[in-house]
Structure 1
Amino acid sequence: MELLLSNYQPAKFSNRTTQKVWLENLSKAEQVRIATGFISSASLIELKKMVEVNEKPNIEMLIGMHYFDGFTKQQYDCALALNETLQAQNRGAVYLSNAMRFHGKLYSFNDAKQCFGAVVGSSNLNSLFSAYKIYEADCFFDGDNAKTIDKSIQNIFGKLGKIITDLQIDNFIQNNDLLENHYGVNKVSPEELTRIWTTKTDTSFEIPMKTEAKSNLNCFFGKGRVNQRGFEMPRPWYEVEIIVPVSITRLPNYPANRTFDVVTNDGWRFSCETNGQNSKNLRSQKDLTILGKWIKGKLEQSGALTMATPVTENVLSQYGKNTMKLSATADPNLWLIEF
């Protein structure tokens, strides 16, 4: 048994993390079984793409809490899409626990002969695919212990689960704020938001939202990270990096090659940075999905964008805006963004 920790500062103790061990075993498995309480739309879409770009593994997954606690429409559609892909390729299925709430987090990895590894602990699927800065603790097992866990997961599927298409779900959660309680993001009070926006200066830049097929807002469709085994992990659905034209980055007072805080017009505060040649890259600092969740989340909530589909000119047209406005405030380290 090996204890796995998230290993974030200041509690950094070891080199092996759950995410690293999970991905390492995933890439060499023929069959993966997952029993987890909660999921996110993004983790399901990323898992679906992983299935599409790799010949293995087969995947069986039980979603343990959402039948009782509710799905958003987006989460449910993503779960159906993953199940459809798995079943169409004869590579597994998505199950829901409809007998009772299941809040465990169990993962097993099998080769052609037997289970060779399993993870048990606090990590939901969300934290395994993306850089969520929540400190998790898990245990990795091999040998007979791993086989026992794998057998238990199969028993849980049999006792608690039904294939998602065998269950009728018609009521959905309406509110799904992607940045709520997100590491590195703060919600600004209405009073503070009003005060900050009164400090806005005349310096501003209208940054075009580009719709290249595999970059900018569509990084998800670019090449994923490929390990030494040739196994490809897709890029996160919400990964975004805005490429700003040189005609803008060379303008006076553009925040070139620096880090600064931004406050959005709907009241979120987080850090961004500009870097690269001519400061052409504009992105959220440390976690590229923060800015992506804000931009793509707005597109999704408006109905203009469907998950796992590209941001196109038509999507931006439906949304009604194809630029993001970046404005300076009286504080040189604080900028405002509107989209």
Structure 2
Amino acid sequence: MKLICSDMLPVGLENGQQSIIDCIHEQFEKADQVELAVGYISKASLIELNDMVERYSIQKICLNIGMYFIEGMPESSYRTALDINAEWNRKGIGEIRLVKSFKYHGKMYCFYKDDGIFSAIIGSANLGVIKLEASNRRQFETAVFIDSVAECSQAARLVHRLKQPICSENISEITGMTLIHEENTSLNNIENVEKIPMSEVSLYQEYLTEISFVLPLKVPKYAERHLDDGKHFTKSNLNVCYAAPRSARKARDWYETQLTVSKGITRAEGYPEKNKPFFVATDDGYWFKVHTTSDGNKQFSAVGNELIMGRWIKGRLATAGLVSPVNDTGGDTDRIGMITQEMLEAYGCNQLVLTKTTKKALDENGNELDVWLFSFESGDIDEEQ
């Protein structure tokens, strides 16, 4: 047995002492099977673990997570775990489980070769130790490394007991767990956008009128994302970023969207007048100015920044772990950043709802503007619209 810990000043490592992360990598390299039971994970550490499984040719893997079923799980981590669990299942190498019977706060890493355990790490380090982020970079961890087969076998038995159906369940079969919706940070520090308290959003909800419009979101199915006939993304209001670039030297920004509204909506009584700006308070607590433009009043966009709408909608999907922003849409030949119907279904929202309130607010020039409530919701899409 030996003590291992974080390599962090001012404590640091003693001569000959190994850091936890180096020890984990060393054991992964020797193993063909790994069993882990931890209290918490992070999205980044899940992705890193999946990379390590491939990098070290691990043949069997099981991750058991102990605290989230009772406390609730961050949505992006949950969806990332679902995807990795499905990948491991397809490859026939393992699974991700959640402890249900109680809060499991232990941290145990067991390493096997040819079906026999040869080492274990037990200590304070959750899975995040393998991929440090701002939240845990200055968090000092300690653990013991064990290579005694007798002692390792005790750890293996406990991890095995946690895998039993009476204690845990595969994450794909979990129901009734609270998902914690994380804040969409894509709009942070963006000019012309303000963050408002949810109490203010609730206030506007008390002043709603009957004037309301549903703006459908047009996106392709996953299987259609490679069809380049113009129908599936140049006319998809969330995926116009994949249309031909405006400049030969620069692809379109991934957050670019183009909300085109049908005549059946724009001609309806009460629809906002062309080029007459108004404020929207979003259902998740953002405030910005929008207007309607173009022929037939068909374009609906934020004032002053054409990426705001995309940052609001796509940013929420990215925060939920359903998609990752793409730096170069021109180079995204696999269309991994394309928004699909399956993503919207998983998120539970497929349309925007714009509802007028009786309230007004002054803009930066002292002009009195209408205030509308803007929501991302679920509903039946009228294909004719």
- Short-chain TM bin: 0.5 to 0.7
SS in 2 for 1:55: coil
| Residue 130 of structure 1: how far off its partner (Å) | 2.5
The question of 1:311 aligning with 2:326 is answered yes
What is the aligned partner in structure 1 of residue 182 from structure 2?
175
> How many equivalent residue pairs?
201
Contact 2:100 2:168 in 1 (8 A): yes
Q: Look up the equivalent residue of 1:108 and give its one-letter code.
A: C
| Structure 2: distance between partners of 1:130 and 1:57 | 25
Per-residue deviation at 1:50? 3.0
Partners of 1:300 and 1:117 in 2: how far apart?
44
- Confirm whether residue 20 of structure 1 aligns to residue 3 of structure 2: no
**2:103 match:** 101
Aligned counterparts, 1:321-332, within 5 A:
none
Q: Which residue of 2 aligns with 1:148?
A: 154
Are 2:72 and 1:70 aligned? yes
Which TM-score applies when normalising by structure 1?
Answer: 0.53
Aligned partners of 1:133, 1:88: CA distance in 2, in Å? 37
| Cα separation, partners in 2 of 1:298 and 1:126, compared to 1, 3 Å | farther
Structure-2 change in CA distance of 1:302 and 1:174 (3 Å): closer
What displacement does 1:86 show? 1.1
- Change in Cα spacing, 1:29 to 1:307, as seen in structure 2 (3 Å) is farther
Q: Which amino acid aligns with 1:11?
A: V
Which residue is equivalent to 1:195? Answer: none
Alpha-carbon offset, residue 20 of structure 1: 0.8
- Is the partner of 1:109 in helix, strand or coil? strand
Taking only aligned residues, the RMSD between alpha carbons, in angstroms, comes to 3.1
Inter-CA distance 308–75: structure 2 relative to 1 (3 Å threshold): same
In structure 1, the partner of 2:265 is none
Q: Which of 104, 129, 132 is the aligned partner of 1:130? A: 132
Deviation at 1:168, TM superposition (A): 1.5
Aligned-residue offset at 1:127: 1.2
Trace 1:102-251 onto structure 2 (pairs within 5 A). Answer: 102-130=104-132, 132-143=137-148, 144-158=150-164, 159-169=166-176, 171-175=178-182
Question: Runs of 5+ in structure 2 lacking a partner?
Answer: 186-310, 339-385
Distance 1:83 1:91 in 2: 10
User: Deviations along 1:290-330, whole A, 9 cap, x unmatched?
Assistant: xxxxxxx9997443585675624449999xxxxxxxxxxxx
Preserved CA contact (<8 Å) 1:93 1:163: yes
Looking at structure 2, the residues matched to 307 and 18 of structure 1 have their Cα atoms a distance apart, in angstroms, of: 31
Contact 1:72–1:176 (CA<8 Å) still a contact in 2? Answer: no
TM-fit CA distance, 1:42: 1.1
Checking the alignment, whether the CA contact within 8 Å between 2:34 and 2:58 is kept in structure 1 is no
8 Å CA contact retained: 1:114, 1:147? no
CA distance in 1, matches of 2:25, 2:142: 16
Q: 1:140 to 1:52 in 2, by over 3 A?
A: closer
Question: Which structure: larger Rg?
Answer: 2
**CA offsets per residue over residues 47-103 of structure 1, 9 Å max, x none?**
223334553242101110111111122111111111111111111111111111111
Matched residue of 2:180: which SS?
Answer: coil
Q: Give the 4+ runs in structure 1 shifted more than 6 A.
A: 297-300, 315-318
What is the CA–CA distance in structure 1 between the aligned matches of 2:54 and 2:324, rounded to whole Å? Answer: 14
Residues 5-62 of structure 1: CA deviation (Å, up to 9, x unaligned):
2131111232301111111001111110000001111111222233345532421011
Q: Distance in 2 between matches of 1:70 and 1:113?
A: 34
Q: 1:169 deviation in Å?
A: 4.5
* Residue of structure 2 equivalent to 1:86: 88
SS of the residue corresponding to residue 138 of structure 2 reads: coil
**Alignment check: 8 A CA contact 1:45 1:307 kept:** no
Cα gap change, 1:70/1:96 in structure 2, threshold over 3 Å: closer, same or farther? same
Distance in 1 (alpha carbons) for counterparts of 2:314 and 2:74: 12
The code of the aligned residue for 1:8 comes to M
| SS state at 1:303 partner | helix
C-alpha distance in structure 1 between counterparts of 2:132 and 2:313, whole Å: 21
**3-state SS of paired residue (2:139):** coil
Tell me, what secondary structure is at the counterpart of 2:111? Answer: strand
In the alignment, the residues of structure 2 paired with residue 170 and residue 66 of structure 1 have an alpha-carbon distance, to the nearest angstrom, of: 8
TM-score, normalising length from structure 2?
0.47
Question: d(CA) in 2 for partners of 1:118 and 1:308?
Answer: 35
Task: State the shift of 1:133 in Å.
Answer: 2.3
Deviation at 1:172, TM superposition (A): 1.7
